[in-house]
Amino acid sequence: MADPTMAQRPAIRPPKIRLFVEGSLAAGARVELSPDQAHYAGRVMRLGPGDALALFNGRDGEWRGRVARLDRKGGEAVAEERLRSQTAGPDLWLLFAPLKKTATDFLVEKATELGVARLVPVFTRRTAAERINRERLRARAVEAAEQCERLDVPEVAEAATLERVVAEWPAGRRLFVADEQGGGIPAAEAFASSPKDAPAHAFLIGPEGGFERSELDALGRLPFVSRVTLGPRILRAETAALAMLACWQAITGDGRSQPPARD
């Protein structure tokens, strides 16, 4: 794992650094590293020219490469050999009402680890936040993807009202809504039965203050919506999102596959 804490104990486990790049990856291809990545590789992980690192761009799989240059303005790496081919992750969307900064950052990081393909900020009636910083959320998603061995980075959609998002809902995608007001079916049941009824899936969690009753009722009337319950405790919004995603992956998602083999 490319985890800064590892730098303190190199004797125990050599750091594995893995960076997301925009450029195309092929044998001998040179790719740009951002100033942040150059700082992380050079200052935090103590890499220098010639040191090995892993590279991915969401299109060409994962590549072993080497650092070519690192400085304050950024850096450059050269791809050498493909380690893994690109594979499509699960097609999951997470619709979330923007929370307070820390909770939102946390949500984006954890949703990335749990395999979400698309993060969709939605404004509900009780959403306190009025805007989101897409660039910041994207940066959190990139960092989480680098650390969790994903081969892609989730897209961060433009924020929109919940009304507009459901009005433009794509055919064939089922939406699971976390219902903390007791109107849902147990998540395990809802998820176990869903592969039959839709090829693609999405999850929606409300803001800190929850949904308005009328919002939940309106959502419940939509043909593509299933309201799910997550048990007797009232989970915070970000916890509910994680719980739904983790259960989905374990029950019907990719929870049966193993992590990529590493030496």
Q: Which residues bind its own copies (CB under 8 A)?
A: 1, 3, 5-6, 8-9, 12-13, 100, 106, 109-110, 113-115, 125-126, 128, 147-150, 180-182, 186-189, 191, 208-210, 212, 229-236, 239, 242-243, 246-247, 249-251, 253-261
What's the sign of the alpha-carbon dihedral 259, 24, 145, 240?
Answer: negative
Contact between residue 174 and residue 194 where contact means Cβ atoms under 8 Å apart: yes
Nearest distance in Å: CB 205, its own copies: 13
Shortest Å distance, C-beta 178 to its own copies? 11
**Two structure tokens written together for 45:** 């992980």
* Tokens representing residue 64 in the block: 């072993």
The per-type count for the chain, helices as H runs and strands as E runs, is: 7, 13
Instruction: Report yes or no: 240 and 178 within 8 Å, Cβ to Cβ.
Output: yes
- Pick the closer one to its own copies by CB: 49 or 195: 195
Q: Which amino acid is at 179?
A: D
What one-letter code names the amino acid at 30?
R
By beta-carbon proximity to its own copies, the closer residue of 29 and 242 is: 242
Query: Residue 50 CB, nearest distance to its own copies (Å)?
Result: 25
User: What's at 11, amino acid-wise?
Assistant: A
Q: Which is nearer to its own copies, 70 or 228 (CB)?
A: 228
Q: Token digits for 182?
A: 């007791």
Cα 56 to Cα 192: distance, rounded to the nearest angstrom: 33
As measured in angstroms, the least distance from the Cβ of 33 to its own copies is 22
Closest to its own copies by CB, 29 vs 137, is 137
**Closest separation in Å from C-beta 22 to its own copies:** 22
Nearest residue (CB) to its own copies, 128 versus 222: 128
